[in-house]
Structure 1
Amino acid sequence: MNAVPSSGIRPDKLKHVEESLANIREALLSLRYGSIAITIHEDRIVQIDVTEKKRLKPN
């Protein structure tokens, strides 16, 4: 169970962050080579970009 920080973070913001972290975790688990970029707008995560690289075996 996650405790609410004593810094006074609003419960709705904390829920948004937890949901965003779950999405980032899912992207990390499915990615072997590549990158993940997180876009934040007005204090909220609004976009997660996943760029996957495909490694080709030489002939």
Structure 2
Amino acid sequence: MSEKAMTDIRNDPAAATRHDIALSIDKVRGVLEALRFGSITLTVHDARVVQIDVTEKTRLHA
């Protein structure tokens, strides 16, 4: 990330929020791509994703 972008994020709360959202979406996308069966739970505090819980299910064939 460029020095100007870092300065913008530090000085502009809206820019920081957009940056946090973009990072969260990237993380969730990665989890979705790796998960075949299961669930994803996001924990949010003060409008920020602070935790991603992944529960993976294994299907057993009878």
Compute the TM-score of the two structures, normalised by the length of structure 2. Answer: 0.74
- Give the helix-richer structure, 1 or 2: 2
Are 2:27 and 1:41 aligned?
no
Equivalent residues, number: 50
Which ranges of structure 1 fall in alignment gaps of 5 or more residues? 1-8
Provide runs of 4+ in structure 1 moved above 3 Å: none
Distance 2:58 2:52 in 1: 19
Q: Which of 46, 55, 61 is equivalent to 1:57?
A: 61
Match of 1:31 in 2: 35
Render the CA deviation track for 1:7-52: whole Å, top value 9, x for unaligned: xx71111000000000000000000000000100111110011100
CA–CA separation in structure 2 for the residues paired with 1:43 and 1:33: 28
Secondary structure class of the residue paired with 1:10: helix
Q: If the length of structure 1 is used for normalisation, what is the TM-score?
A: 0.78
